[in-house]
Chain A
Amino acid sequence: MATKTKTGIGTWVGFVLILVWCLLPVAWIVSLSFKSLEETTAGSPQFLPKDFTTGNYGEILDNGDFTRALINSFSISLIATVLSVILATLAAYAIARLEFKGKRLVLSMALAIAMFPVVSLVGPLFDMWRTFGLFNTWPGLIIPYMTFTLPLAIWTLSAFFREIPWEMEQAAQVDGATSWQAFRKVIVPLAAPGVFTAAILTFFFAWNEFVLAISLTSTTSSRTVPAQMSFFVGPDPFNPPYAQLATASVIVTIPVIIIVLLFQRKIVAGLTSGAVKG
């Protein structure tokens, strides 16, 4: 009994420590975003804002550059995610179901690409994109984002597809489905947790990405939020507008939290239970 309580206490202490460790910076940013500009530039030691203000939010949403960057971020991340997931689903299905020469090669190449450092590609991409006229455009960011997220998406999805019994598809075909119908009505819904996982991973990568975003753009016509935030300097170069930066950070974090909350139920695996005798 005593050991049990001890373990219980230990667990909770560890739990609280980790929570504080992880959430304190977030809380700090949230608290900063409600402080006035004067308060942050004066250097305020206290954690909670002295006079609570929501002025920062109004100000930043009035900032045309920021809203423009938000639209860019959303569009680029969404397009990259949708395209990447569609391609990955088809590729992963082929890898899981078909026997073809070079299957292992495709998979190991994909893994190799995923391990490639993003930074090393910035120079070549910059030159290439300028030649192709892709520099400072949406596709100029969408294409490299897809390149870096596809491998992981393919690996995740092919693992999911492999778990789905062959019989499901065969049953659908006997029931009168074409291969495409069997895929769309039976296989994809069953792989939904995998599809959502892949989609979320891709979206977050594109949403948070900074190096490519700052190197391959030059104006607000295609700059994303993480890159745009580095241009928030304010009038005094020695006193960055911390309150505004914190507000922007909070705003870009909100969609991430919403998406995780929305889809976490979908990510719960084990949807296939009950398909077969189990």
Chain B
Amino acid sequence: MAAIDMKNIVKKYGDGFPAVNDVSIDVQDGEFMILVGPSGCGKSTLLRMIVGLEDITTGDMMIGDKRVNDLAPRDRNLAMVFQNYALYPHLTVYENIAFPLRLAGAPESEIDQKVREASKTLELDEHLERKPGNLSGGQRQRVAMGRAIVRDADAFLFDEPLSNLDAKLRGQMRTEISRLQKRLGITTVYVTHDQTEAMTLGDRVAVMKRGVLQQLASPRELYENPGNLFVAGFIGSPPMNFLPAEVDGTSVKLPFGTVTISEEKAKRAQGKGLLIAGIRPEHFEDASVKDSPTAGSTFSARVDVVEWLGNEAYAYIPFEAPPEVQAQLTQLEKDLDGESMRTQLVISLDGASRIAEGDEAEIWVDARKIHLFDPSTGENLTVDEARAGRIHGREDPSGMAKAEAMADEGEEIHSADEA
């Protein structure tokens, strides 16, 4: 087992496209680290650089105390689970799992013992003599994991291992991976685009966008203290609401009314003109359901659509955004791989709420949980830095700016290709 330390890693492809820009991540020994971001954010490239399937343009990749930049994959002693599993179809499940051991020249008795142990852990005992072609998706996934755990690797690397499974199986395998990692206590780097996987599995999560590290923090820190607009929009489902806001003293003017925020937060957002306020759906509630509306304000609005799910309901309230905010929100949607249809507020209501479509509803909002973002930089002005992990843009603004500039260049290269 070993720690993995990435120092200022840069990956530039032959055509000059920068896939990874100046990323530094330290994975502690035994830690479960998640790399997450929308497609094309460089997370898989980064993982492949750790394992040695991609060359590193500049920067240092340290595993343990050893710089591994120039080592071949087989000399790095890492185990990887591929997105499509990459099982050897001409070998039985037993031989698939035994493959790394055979390459290492382990004695037959040791191979047998280790393979049986792995198959027991993964409940593959009755499938050992079958070929991968005859297995279900979940079983193949387990064989791929068996091939990884059978070696005494320094770390596990997962490249979107669950994306080919159906929703139910994905949930089961997720818990299975988490349990396995906890039991083996092995350093793990896990790439996903799914924020649920990121939140549930990771000790820490590195959020990436266009090859630039945005924030590196625990799931709770990411959720409660997103460093910028992108992280705030990416983490959480349904996503955080973004509203145009104007701060005046301790009162914040939102499209639906005015709420009061704490003095400390207000001070940081003073004199910045038009801002973007971020409020999570669950920080709203139907005022009539709320027993004792403590700190917070209420406002009334016309509910457009209600989606009732049993335990909760989502209400949608459209609003108009001024053009300067609108532009930023459209860009954000693009970064998140989404398509902005219209600006609307998503509110998570208690299942007991009786608000129906078309109602003029009384909504309560928890003003303590509001975040305020600078629309020009996307930076979170009200972040609690002590509880936000590492925010790249705050720690090293010039480095972040440089990395972003490189990512912009890359975008130009790609748009030039398309033209």
In the bound complex, residues from chain A placing their C-beta under 8 Å from that of B103 are 175-177, 181, 185
Binary interface encoding of chain A residues 149-175 relative to chain B, with 1 for a CB under 8 A from any of its CBs, else 0: 000000000000000010110111111
Q: Contacts A175-B100, A177-B103 known; A274 to B87 CB distance under 8 Å?
A: yes
Contact A177 B84 (CB under 8 A): no
Closest to B147 in A: A175
Distance in angstroms from A268 CB to nearest chain B CB is: 13
A167 touches which of B74, B79, B86 (Cβ 8 Å): B86
Distance in angstroms from B148 CB to nearest chain A CB is: 9
In the bound complex, residues from chain B placing their C-beta under 8 Å from that of A271 are 89-90
Distance in angstroms from B354 CB to nearest chain A CB is: 45
Contact B100 A273 (CB under 8 A): no
In the bound complex, residues from chain B placing their C-beta under 8 Å from that of A170 are 53, 73, 82, 86
Q: Does B240 contact A (CB under 8 A)?
A: no
Distance in angstroms from B352 CB to nearest chain A CB is: 42
Complex CA distance for A79 and B78, rounded to whole angstroms? 42
Q: Does A272 contact B (CB under 8 A)?
A: yes
Q: Does B137 contact A (CB under 8 A)?
A: yes
Complex CA distance for A218 and B193, rounded to whole angstroms? 72
Closest to A173 in B: B73
Q: Contacts A173-B74, A177-B74 known; A277 to B89 CB distance under 8 Å?
A: no
Q: Contacts A175-B99, A274-B132, A274-B133 known; A168 to B88 CB distance under 8 Å?
A: yes
**Contact residues of B between 112 and 145, Cβ < 8 Å to A:** 131-135, 137, 140
Q: Does A190 contact B (CB under 8 A)?
A: yes
Binary interface encoding of chain A residues 261-278 relative to chain B, with 1 for a CB under 8 A from any of its CBs, else 0: 000000000011111110
Complex CA distance for A177 and B151, rounded to whole angstroms? 13
Distance in angstroms from B96 CB to nearest chain A CB is: 10
Complex CA distance for A189 and B85, rounded to whole angstroms? 18
Q: Does A229 contact B (CB under 8 A)?
A: no
Closest to B99 in A: A175
Q: Does A239 contact B (CB under 8 A)?
A: no
Complex CA distance for A274 and B139, rounded to whole angstroms? 11
Q: What would 12 more interface pairs be, CB under 8 Å, given A175-B100, A178-B74? A: A170-B86, A171-B80, A171-B86, A172-B99, A177-B103, A185-B99, A186-B88, A274-B131, A275-B84, A275-B86, A275-B88, A275-B133
In the bound complex, residues from chain A placing their C-beta under 8 Å from that of B407 are none
Interface residues on chain A, size class: 20 to 34
Q: Does B372 contact A (CB under 8 A)?
A: no
Complex CA distance for A71 and B133, rounded to whole angstroms? 42
Distance in angstroms from A252 CB to nearest chain B CB is: 34
Distance in angstroms from B189 CB to nearest chain A CB is: 13
Complex CA distance for A173 and B90, rounded to whole angstroms? 17
Complex CA distance for A148 and B80, rounded to whole angstroms? 43
In the bound complex, residues from chain B placing their C-beta under 8 Å from that of A275 are 84, 86-89, 132-133
A174 touches which of B73, B133, B134, B164 (Cβ 8 Å): B73
In the bound complex, residues from chain B placing their C-beta under 8 Å from that of A192 are 90
9 smallest CB-CB distances across A and B, nearest first, come from A274-B133, A276-B84, A171-B86, A167-B86, A175-B100, A274-B132, A275-B89, A277-B164, A176-B103
In the bound complex, residues from chain A placing their C-beta under 8 Å from that of B416 are none
B72 touches which of A167, A168, A173, A175 (Cβ 8 Å): A173
Closest to A175 in B: B100
In the bound complex, residues from chain A placing their C-beta under 8 Å from that of B85 are 276-277
Q: Does B208 contact A (CB under 8 A)?
A: no
A171 touches which of B82, B104, B140 (Cβ 8 Å): B82
Closest to B157 in A: A174
A276 touches which of B53, B86, B99, B104 (Cβ 8 Å): B86
In the bound complex, residues from chain A placing their C-beta under 8 Å from that of B79 are 174-175
Contact A274 B89 (CB under 8 A): yes
Distance in angstroms from A181 CB to nearest chain B CB is: 6
Complex CA distance for A274 and B78, rounded to whole angstroms? 24
Distance in angstroms from B87 CB to nearest chain A CB is: 6
Q: Does B259 contact A (CB under 8 A)?
A: no
Q: Does B388 contact A (CB under 8 A)?
A: no
B89 touches which of A172, A185, A190 (Cβ 8 Å): A190
